[in-house]
Amino acid sequence: MENRKIISSLLFIIGLALSIAFIIKIEFPQGFEAYFKREYYNQFGPLVISVELLIASYYLFIGHKKTNFALAFFGFTALLDLVFSQLGLFTSIMPLYGTIVLSICALVCLWLAFANTFKLKGLSPIAAIFSIALGVFVELFFNYL
């Protein structure tokens, strides 16, 4: 239980620091119609991924039964941002430091989720597929649609 709280605290601190860094980079446009353009909403993609990390780390800290799903959802979303960007599907606005840090956290979270390291409710195959589908949706929503 001690290791779970240490890992979740580290992930929470990383998620909080990245959330603050990504909020600072958001540019709010002048005029009403600019809020309905795609460029405005694209700015929120990195913030959403870091908030997913915050939620997953909080669930891990309290030992919530949906922890493994939240960890997998964050992990797939963060890695899909990197994969889709490398495949040329879109140009991610995630800064390089965010990509590196979130990819490392994503690999750790996916390992924790699929290995069920802390003996929380296991991740079913349907939940794993659903977390991948949600990750794809989030990435396409903020970067492609």
pLDDT tops 80 at residue 1: no
Listed range (26-40, 68-82, 108-122, 131-145) with the worst mean pLDDT: 26-40
DSSP label of 1: -
Report the distance separating Cα 144 and Cα 21, nearest Å. 23
- Return left, alpha or beta for 139; rule: phi > 0 is left, psi -120 to 50 is alpha, else beta: alpha
Mean pLDDT across 114-136 = 90
pLDDT tops 90 at residue 133: yes
- At residue 33, the pLDDT reads 82
Report the distance separating Cα 47 and Cα 94, nearest Å. 9
* Average pLDDT value over all residues in the chain: 91
Return the SS3 of 83: helix
